[in-house]
Amino acid sequence: MNLILKNFNEKNLLFLISFFLIVYIFINFTQKHFGIMQINDDKSFVQLTNVEIKKNVSQHLTSVLTYERILSKKCSVTGDMHDRHKVRWVKSLLLKNLYQLSKKLNSKLPYYINIILHSFLIFLSLIFLNQAFKLEKIHIIFFLFYVTFIFQFHLGEYSYSIFEMFFVSVALYASKKKNITLFFLIILMAILNRESGFILILVWLIFNKEYKKIVIFSIIILTIFLMVNYESINCMINPNFFIPLEKQEGQTILSQLDSINIFSRVLVITINYILPFGLIFYNVFKSKDKNKILILIGIIYLFVFLFASTIYKVEEKLIILPLIILSFNLSNKKIVN
């Protein structure tokens, strides 16, 4: 007992607090995301009880309709951003089975599984980043502040972004520790979560200059991806499948910023693009050893967010949080790349 207390320092306490804070943040988000208020027939709003919220969330997570569009074998290019979800069926199938299995044990258990799973992935992201770079306390606080800020918004596809943030964190750890086996496995899981996972292949080059190995690695990963999604190959050859050129109903794309006032325009651009990517580029250029691969990855993600996503998908900015943390460490002269 004395040994445990002796090794329990301020940083460990901060991690412990971080875990409970992340769980609290996600519980609070879940309550808001699935709607504390609902519209009655007379167009009025009523507040749902905590029991009703848990019931609704569990029903949503286990409903066949929730996964029908993704798990359907039919592939088509309609110009909708949900077309590309067809290549994300592996993760959806696993989550569907997990939630439906848990519901057999308890009708409200999917609600708790969803909170625990995603909270734990966020926390593990922080742990892997710390194992890779030995984070300073200010960086841990920044991580928590960033996550807290993101989860104040209504987030649509939050699960994909949380999983991808976790995969980015583990990929950085594997690259730093030169663990190619772990790196291969995490990239494979990343591309089955979301097609943007292919970008993470470049993460290996941040700390390792093995270009030939990465070329071979990329071919293998692409082959596996095509084999898993062979039913959607005919759709994938159409550029509109991944990057729809048409406006999405209820969503705003970059080209339509003129429809909002100048103050809102500046605020949206600052929060979504200037601040997160500005931190990465500023820290990289400030560092003694300017990492060109990190700059390249940052530029690629910036273009993806600008042209393959809608402006108000704030949850996607979670993906680059590990890269921001990395840039802080690269800007520290004590860190040797």
Helix (H, G, I), strand (E, B) or coil at 95: helix
116 domain-assigned: yes
Q: What is the pLDDT of residues 224-242, one digit of tens each?
A: 988 988 877 777 776 666 6
Reported pTM: 0.88
36 domain-assigned: no
Total tally of structural domains belonging to the chain: 1
38 domain-assigned: no
Does residue 319 have a pLDDT over 90?
yes
- At 155 the pLDDT is 81
How large is the average pLDDT for residues 96-102? 94
7 domain-assigned: no
Q: Distance between the two ends of the chain, CA-based, in angstroms?
A: 38
How large is the average pLDDT for residues 23-35? 86
- At 3 the pLDDT is 39
How large is the average pLDDT for residues 110-137? 94
The H or E element containing residue 38 is strand 37-39
219 domain-assigned: yes
Least confident segment among 26-40, 108-122, 218-232: 26-40
- At 254 the pLDDT is 53
Range of the domain at 271: 12-29+45-62+78-234+254-330
Does residue 110 have a pLDDT over 60?
yes
Q: What is the pLDDT of residues 259-289, one digit of tens each?
A: 566 777 777 788 888 899 999 999 998 887 7
How large is the average pLDDT for residues 153-172? 92
Distance (Å, whole) CA 249 – CA 335: 47
54 domain-assigned: yes
Least confident segment among 8-17, 56-65, 221-230: 8-17
Query: Which two tokens mark 45?
Result: 């709003």
